[in-house]
Structure formats: structure tokens, C-alpha cells
Amino acid sequence: MKKISILISSLRGGGAERAMLMFARGALDEGFAVDVITGMGNGPLRAVLPEGARLVDLKSPRSLAIVPPLVRYLRRERPDALYATVSHMNVLSVVARGISGVRTKLILRESNSPLTERKSSLTRRVVHCLAPILYPRADAVISVSEGVAEELYQMTPKLRGKTFICPQPVISDDILALGDEQIEHEWFREDGPPVILGVGRLQPQKDFPTLLKAFAKARKEKVAKLVILGEGGERERLEKLAEELGIAEDLSMPGFTVNPFPYMKRARLFVLSSRFEGMPNVLLQAMAMGAQVVSTDCRSGPREILRGGELGGLVPVADPDALAGAILERIDNERPNIAGAELIRERYGVATAAREYLKLIEQPRLGGESSREIL
């Protein structure tokens, strides 16, 4: 039996980490043995760890500290392939495999726009400098969208020929079933008000201040509520802004939720307000639940997902007026987004995506100008 290892930073949350746990499920279904390796083994996503996958906790809360135990793991276990995701973990996995001397295939997954992403900390700036040097040493790089692939090529042309655009493994029968669970939140009652939903970490990338400002404008014309699921460093700022805008009583921020899918299924409208993305899992998942959606036309992902606006609203980044207008255009539409749901469920199903990821193990030395033939 072939064995793969999947490296994620922690189980505390995050779309990239959740997607890789979904990939683990797909790999198990394809007959692979799977180890999920993490620097911190505790967190809400432990509940999402698929049955049959072995959790390997490196007990390294600081990212740099994972290299020595990861080297020891690779020398001991010698998996057929190591998959890593998120830029700093990608860089560290290249370093660890190089030190270990093992012949394990190394497959990196870039889930964000590497050039557009803000370099707001020393760690991010160091990773940004190291990525063009270290990424080409991997056997393959998975790009989650065309936009991310283009930025990878701009970062270093050496990645042409070993970068593969693969669908996100984010939709499964389990997730669709989870959408039917009950919600205790009073706003989601049958006779409740229309609810606008946002999901994501409370951080600058997600630009929830623009969503709050747009909601405040739309709220003057339509009765509605706003729910934002997620946690992060901007909570206090958002709560203060809601007070200033006079919408505090119409805003609920319950924090990180392991199962956001019933909220997506029951919300009148799902809104993505991000400044940039790689391929936003939450937008894919909301559409799979049949939600009507509005998104910023950010780099990258939303335009690809929404087919240029055919399957949902697209508005400029950081434009509260445009976002408010798009919300008002769609908030009265109570019909499920059937066309969007069918397309997303087919394209981004766990089984489909997992097979594409696993094909990369069989790739010999990669080369050439285009890697689209794997799709």
C-alpha cells in the first residue's frame, strides 16, 4: 500500500488546512495510507480528521521548530509523497526533505496569491524571499487557480512545467449532509429576517470592514442581519466599527465554527469581501450549499468560480457602495443557486480533486511549458 503524508501547520482552523483534511479523506478512499502531520495537534479541526488517517503531532508551536522532528519522521517513515500547504510550511518542507536525504516525492500546494499577499511580518517577508529559491526544488507545485499559477510564474519562471492547476478538494457527501444540521442561532428561524453571511478569519485580507460598511448602507433600505463566522485579531476593530456605523444590534460574530455549512445553506446571501485570495474555499462551499453569492473581483479565484459574474455578483475590491448595491440586487432572491451548486459539486468534489492530487506522485521529472494536461 502506498503511503502519503500531509503537512499542515495546525488544527486550529483555516481553509487551506480544512481542504487538506478533505484531501486526506479522498486519498484514504483511493486506497492510500495517510499520515496527517501538524505542528500542533489540538484544535477544532481535529473533529474533521478523517477516520483511518493517522495524526502525527510534532508538538512544535513555532514553525521553525518543526524541521528537526519532520526530518526524523521522513527518515523513519519514508512515505511515497509528502504534501505541504501554506507558504511557510512549503518552505520548511523543502528544507526538511533536503536535510533528510530521503527520496520521498515533495508536492507543494500554493493556496494564496504569493505576490499579492501582504508581507506584514518578518516571517512572511523571509518566506517571500526564500520561496523563489526553494519552491523549484519540489517535485511539483499545486496551484489552486489560474491567477495563483500566474503569480508563481512571475515569482520564478523555473516553476513553469512543474506547476499544476488542480481543483480544491472541498466538497464531499459528508459536508452536504452537515448542511442539514440545525442551527440554534435565533436569526436562522423559518420566520427570521434575511441573513447575510460572511465566513473567514478576522484579518485584513478578508476586508470585513468593507462588508460592514456595505451592510450599513444596504440596511437603510432593507431589513436584514449580518453574521460573520470566524476569529482573529480584527475582532475588536470590527466591533468598534459596527458601533460607529449603528449596526451593532444587527451584527453577530459567533467566532470560529467547525460546521459553517448549515449557516451557508440557510443564509439569504453569502458575501466574500476579500482583498485577495487564492481560491476561496468558503465561496465554493457556500455555492455547493445552493447559496446566492456576491464576491469582490479580487485576485484570484472568484472570477473563475463565478464565470465572470454569470453565477453570482462581482464587485470591485474595497468598494462599499458597489458591494451594497450588489447585496440589494440579490437579497430578495430566495431561490437556491441550482446551477452554481451543481457545477461546484462536480468540479470540486473530494474524489475528483484527490485523484488529481494523487496523479502527481506518478509524474517523473516534470518539464515543458504547460501543465494543464493533468486536469
Per-residue pLDDT band for 119 (boundaries 50, 70, 90) equals low
Q: Which three cell numbers mark 219?
A: 440596511
What pLDDT, on the 0 to 100 scale, is given for residue 120? 66
Region 85-102: mean pLDDT is: 96
What are 282's three cell numbers? Answer: 468558503
3-class secondary structure, 250: helix
Given this model, what pLDDT does residue 371 score? 40
Give residue 57's pLDDT.
95
- Say yes or no: 300 and 355 in one domain: no
CA torsion 296→302→305→311, rounded to 10°?
10
The share of the chain scoring above pLDDT 70, in percent, equals: 96
pLDDT of 369? 36
Question: Which CATH number characterizes residue 222's domain?
Answer: 3.40.50.2000
Say if residue 269's pLDDT is above 50.
Answer: yes
- Say what percent of the chain tops pLDDT 90: 76
**165 and 201 housed in the same domain:** no
What order do you get walking across the sheet with 269-272 strand by strand? 251-255, 225-229, 195-199, 269-272, 293-296, 313-315
Same domain, 315 and 223: yes
Asked whether residue 144 falls in the same domain as residue 72, the answer is yes
Same domain, 273 and 138: no
Domain identity same for 74 and 196: no
The total of structural domains in the chain comes to 2
Cα–Cα distance for residue pair 194/182, rounded to 1 Å: 17
Is there a single domain that holds both residue 328 and residue 275? Answer: yes
41-50, 70-79, 108-117, range with the lowest pLDDT: 108-117
Using pLDDT thresholds of 50, 70 and 90, give the confidence band for residue 36. Answer: very high
For the entire predicted model, the pTM comes to 0.83
Distance CA 77, CA 125 (A): 32
Based on the fold, state whether residues 109 and 219 are members of the same structural domain: no
Return the higher-pLDDT residue of 31 and 364.
31
Q: Is the pLDDT of residue 107 over 50?
A: yes
Whether pLDDT at 14 is above 90: no
Which tens digit of pLDDT belongs to each residue from 316-372? 999 999 999 999 999 999 888 888 899 899 889 999 999 999 999 987 644 333 343
How far, in Å, CA of 250 to CA of 246, rounded?
9
Q: What integer is the mean pLDDT of 108-123? A: 79
The yes-or-no verdict on residue 300 having pLDDT over 90 is: no
Model pLDDT for residues 154-174, shown as the tens digit of each residue: 999 999 999 999 998 989 988
Does residue 199 sit in the same domain as residue 72?
A: no
The overall average pLDDT reported for the chain is 92
| pLDDT, average across residues 199-227 | 97
193 secondary structure, DSSP code: P
Residue 215 has pLDDT above 90, yes or no: yes
- So what's the pLDDT on residue 63? 79
Q: Are residues 203 and 99 in the same domain?
A: no
Q: Which domain holds residue 203?
A: 173-347
Residue 168's contacts (CB-CB under 8 Å, 6 or more residues apart) are 19, 144, 279, 281, 284, 348, 353
User: Are residues 252 and 143 located together in one domain of the fold?
Assistant: no
Tell whether 206 and 152 lie within a shared domain: no
Mean pLDDT of 58-83: 93
Count of other CB atoms within 10 angstroms of residue 193: 14
Alpha helices in 30-110 (DSSP H): 67-77, 87-100
Instruction: Give the pLDDT confidence score for residue 62 in this predicted structure.
Output: 82
- What per-residue confidence (pLDDT) applies to 128? 85
Confidence of residue 305 (pLDDT cuts 50, 70, 90): very high
